Each structure stands twice: as C-alpha cells, then as structure tokens.
Structure 1
Amino acid sequence: MLSILEVGGGMTMTSSPYYYEHIMGKPSRKDEFEFYIGIHSFPKTELHFHPFAELTFVLDGCGYEKINGIMHRMEPGTVSLVLPNHMHESKSDTDQTIRKYCCMFDINLLFGSSYDSDWYRWLYRIGSQIPSYAAFQEETAARVEGIFAQLMAEYVKPELMGHHNMIRNQLSEVLILLLREINKGPGSNSDWNRKDRSQPFWPALHYVHVHFADKLSLESVAARFHTNSTYLSRLFRENTGLSFLEYLHRLRINSAATMLIHTDKSVADITFETGFESIRTFSRVFREMKGKSPREFRKAHP
C-alpha cells in the first residue's frame, strides 16, 4: 500500500501506485489490493487508455474532457468514470490547472453480491449508451467530495478491520450517485424500474469482461447463464451495438494494444495472453480494428 500522492503538471512523482507501475510496464504485484487514490493537478493529459477503471472528482479549475470521442465540460463538482480500455484525454482552460481526486481500480472489486446486478448493468453502459460524467450541484457535490475524502483517509490505513470492504462500499456509493445523476430526467426512473432484472445479459457481460482472455464462445457463455445462445446474441446486439464476437474482439484487442505499448512482451505472448488461439487470427483482427499490424502499432507508439 502506497502513500497518497498529489501530482502536479510540473512536478515529478517520487513513487507510483500499483496501476502506474502496471501501465509503465513494471511487474505487477498480484497480492496488491488493486485500488489507488490521489489528488492530481495537471494542465492537460494526452489521449490514452488503460486496463483499469478511473473515477475522478474535480476540486478546482475548469476545462474539457473527451471520453470515447465525446467531449464534456469539467468544473468543480464534475465526476467522471472511465471504464477499462476507454480512450480519454483532458485539457484545462487557458491559464488554469485542473485539480481533482483520481481513483484507479480493478472494476472487479466492486462486485460480489447478488444485489449488484441492480446497478452494474448500468455501469457498463457508461461511455457508450449513457454519458461518462455528471456535474453535481452544491449539496450532492459536497456529499460526493466527502466520500472521496473518506476514501483517501481509508486508503492509507490498510491495517484497519474491514479495510477492503470499506473502500468497496465508499466507491460503490459514489458510482451509484453518479448513475442516479446520469439517469435523471423525464422517464428515466420508470425506465430504470421497468428493466427486467432476470435478464441474463448484464451478468453475462460482466463475466465476459472478467474472462475475455479465456477460451470463450457465445455458446459457452449462454450455457453458463442458462439461456439460449440466439437470445444472448440478440441481447448483445441490442445493448452494445456489436455482436458477441465483435465485443469480445474489442476487449481482447484493446488489452493487446495496451501490452504492445507498455510492455516488451512478444507478439506471440500477447496473442495467447489475450485469448487468441493463433497469431494469424490475432494479427488479422488487430489490423481490422487498429489499421496497423501489431508490430507497426508498437513502432508507432515508442
């Protein structure tokens, strides 16, 4: 467990949290609780993506953030969630610096209860079907800022009983408040309650996000969730705009792209680590999605 960092645009980090080590290609510590929080200050961040989720709350400054090609305004009280492998960048207004809480975490630490499906099916819509952000007003903004402060305080005390559960609960509270804010508006609550909670899609989607590097097929996932593969295929198309295989390939290729940029692993190793069974298939799908071969992509991102 590392201490809290406050990172400035002109400052040098003297240490790095777990996820910074991961994206810089350093060895992962599998025994580390995969959560980090700090206060970051910056004038801009370049377009990038990473295999972990990132939750932020703006404290000071104004500017713009672009997630998956959609731009939104950042100002104090704005909360943003970037899901794994979503492309994002940000820039402050002229002569300003954005200062914000920044949480980085393995999205899987959120789940574990049968009640989670009440809201995590909405979580995976962020950045594709619903906005990635919400601008909280005074009272709710103060509440959310308080939760982030509690997360910071909890983060540096791993010896406390129930430490991991406390972080999970506080993180979940922020995310639920974010989803409620995003879903405000005419008909949103009725639409929320009208959803069929027995629908297998969202648990299946979560399973795919966790196990995309394993040997998966539409039929095997459908069987796992006791549903018909044709029905599950239709649900994938309706909820993501992609077929099951297209969605699976997107997860695998984005993960592969991250490894190509940030590690020295061979193309062969990356092929099998991301779930592809042959280098030929991996290279073909990679070129279709990224416009370059894996080796050309790596050379373009030195």
Structure 2
Amino acid sequence: MNFPDDSPYRLDFAYRSDRPIEPVFHSHNFYEIYYFHEGVCNYLIGDRIYTLQPGDLILMNGMTLHCAKIDPSVPYVRSLLHFDPGALRPLLAWSQAVNVLQPFQELGNLRLSLGGTDRELVERLLAELSVLAKRTDAVGEGRFRLAVADLLHVVYELWIRRRAVQDRTELPTEKEQTVQRLITFLECHYTEDLHLEALQDHMHVSKFYLSKLFKEVTGVTIFEYLYRRRINQAKIEFVLDPAKTVTDVCFQVGFKHLAHFSRMFKRQQGVTPEQFKRRLASPSNLTAGD
C-alpha cells in the first residue's frame, strides 16, 4: 500500500520481507516501525548496537543514521512500515488526547522486546496489514490506514507501559562491547579531525585490530561509518537551516575540504549538496534501506 508518486506523504508497508541486503548506513525523513521475525542481526542506530531477537520491535524517527548487519547464511525476515506523520494526521486528529507519535518525537529511537500476548498482538496486526495492503479498492485503502492507526495506538500503549524501565541491553560479546564504545566515541567526536592513531590511543586497542573488529561487527569500515555520520548530520543541518551554505555545513560536520565533502555527499545520496538543498523546497523521500 503506497501513496501516489506525486503525493507529499509516504506510507508503505512490507510484510515478512526476506530479500538480502548490504550493510549500508542510511537515514530518511520519515518514521519507521521495524519488526524482527527471524535471523541473525546486529542493528546499529546512532551510537547504539542492538543484537536483535525475534519479537524485537524498533521505532525510529528516521533521521538517525542506522544500519542492519546480518548473517547472510540464514534467512533475515522483517516487517517494515514507513510513514510520514502527515499521511495519518486526519485519522489521528480525533484522538488528540493521545499523541501516538510521541515515542518517535520524544525518544527518536527505541527497541521494545516483545513476548507473550504483546508479541502475538503485534504479529496479528502486521498480518492484517499485509492482507489489507494487497487491496486496491477504496474501502481496502481506508481500512489499511485505520489498521496503521490501530498499530500506532498499540505501540504507544506498549511504550507507556515500559517508559519507566531503562533499556539495559546487554551486548553479548566483548567484541561488540568494544565496538559500542568506539561508536559512542565517534558520535561525540565525529566533527573533529580523527585518525586511527587517535582512536587507538583512546580505546587502548591496536588500530589494526580495532579496524578489523569494527568491520566484523558492523559490516563497514570505521571511516565509512564516520563519513556516513557526517553526511547524515549535513542533511539535518540543511533541513533545519536552509540558509546555511554548503561550505559552512562542510566544515561544521568535520570535513576539511569542500571537494571531499561534495564527493562523499553525492556518493552516498546520489545528488550534490547543492542539488539536495534545492530539493528541500519540494521534499521527496530518500530511498531507505532496512
């Protein structure tokens, strides 16, 4: 179920998708509900690594850099709902006392590990969405949007019940703990002039081992992650303040040379920074991975 290509809003759904993916860090300007059915996956969101288990439900505001690192030798099965809040605003207006978008707006990103009746309920709703998404008639389209609104209310209720519980995710291996510490450091210092020697000194780990470990856990190199993080922040800066020049943003996010910034931006986004800024006047959804 999708909005027409010329619609300013995005609303699409994929049920139990099992297509293979490459581990690519990306971001997008719409909200996402991700449900993990089965597989082996380390999901990186911002400065956090989540080792997923079946029944995990992830809420994302989209603008935070994220990437799924999977084991391709086993099936990777997930359901995805991408939506622009404007696509559902008319359906949610009647219930203004309950802001079901609050988990996305307040936390930005959240993992809920579901079990028992909660897991059964969410999986049933996802299966119902799958059936309705195949319909092309007006009634089916209306019921699909109502079902999405119902799912958002259920997710909101799950969040309310657990909001007081701090996420105490345990990283199962020492390797993942080391990479988590490095990602946290990069998140705090990505605008600085970083090199492997500085990371080695901070982590007290050989730069060669650190590079190997990071690629093993995340699927990308340290500097691929770093450049993705900088480009992601550049996109956010362009959105928040369209008056900022490309040069200003280039240096603000940590690049030392404008040509390098423009080259990396186009490699990751498919357009130059100038073209991206021009498109902000009439936003179009960027392609998202999962």
Choose from 170, 188, 195 the match for 2:147: 170
In the alignment, residue 109 of structure 1 is paired with which amino acid? A
Partner of 2:253: 289
Tell me the distance in 2 between the aligned counterparts of 1:175 and 1:73: 24
- Larger mean Cα displacement after TM superposition, 168-177 or 71-80: 168-177
* 1:36 partnered with 2:16: no
Tell me the distance in 2 between the aligned counterparts of 1:292 and 1:118: 46
Deviation at 1:77, TM superposition (A): 1.3
* 1:276 partnered with 2:242: yes
RMSD of aligned Cα (Å): 3.5
Partner of 1:150: 128
Does the Cα contact within 8 Å between 1:61 and 1:92 map onto a contact in 2? yes
SS at match of 2:106: coil
Does the Cα contact within 8 Å between 1:58 and 1:100 map onto a contact in 2? yes
Deviation at 1:117, TM superposition (A): 5.5
Does the Cα contact within 8 Å between 2:9 and 2:86 map onto a contact in 1? no
Choose from 83, 105, 118 the match for 2:98: 118
In the alignment, residue 123 of structure 1 is paired with which amino acid? F
Does the Cα contact within 8 Å between 1:40 and 1:100 map onto a contact in 2? yes
1:139-169: CA deviations, max 9, x gaps? 22121111112212222213132624x3333
* 1:67 partnered with 2:33: no
TM-score by length of 2: 0.56
Tell me the distance in 2 between the aligned counterparts of 1:154 and 1:255: 37
Q: Which runs of 5+ in 2 are unaligned?
A: 166-230, 268-290
Does the Cα contact within 8 Å between 2:250 and 2:261 map onto a contact in 1? no
Partner of 1:95: 73
Does the Cα contact within 8 Å between 1:77 and 1:141 map onto a contact in 2? yes
Tell me the distance in 2 between the aligned counterparts of 1:79 and 1:187: 17
1:219-262: CA deviations, max 9, x gaps? xxxxxxxxxxxxxxxxxxxxxxxxxxxxxxxxxx859639xxxx
Tell me the distance in 1 between the aligned counterparts of 2:46 and 2:244: 29
Tell me the distance in 2 between the aligned counterparts of 1:107 and 1:186: 22
Does the C-alpha gap of structure 1 residues 180 and 276 become closer, same or farther in structure 2, counting only changes over 3 Å?
Answer: same
Does the Cα contact within 8 Å between 1:78 and 1:133 map onto a contact in 2? yes
* 1:132 partnered with 2:96: no
Does the C-alpha gap of structure 1 residues 74 and 47 become closer, same or farther in structure 2, counting only changes over 3 Å?
Answer: same
In the alignment, residue 158 of structure 2 is paired with which amino acid? E
Does the Cα contact within 8 Å between 1:154 and 1:167 map onto a contact in 2? yes
Q: Which runs of 5+ in 1 are unaligned?
A: 3-17, 19-27, 189-252, 259-269
In the alignment, residue 133 of structure 1 is paired with which amino acid? R
Tell me the distance in 2 between the aligned counterparts of 1:293 and 1:40: 40
Q: Percent identity?
A: 15
Deviation at 1:299, TM superposition (A): 0.7
Tell me the distance in 1 between the aligned counterparts of 2:13 and 2:163: 35
Tell me the distance in 2 between the aligned counterparts of 1:115 and 1:297: 45
Tell me the distance in 1 between the aligned counterparts of 2:110 and 2:160: 11
State the structure with bigger RCO (CA 8 A, min sep 6), 1 or 2: 2
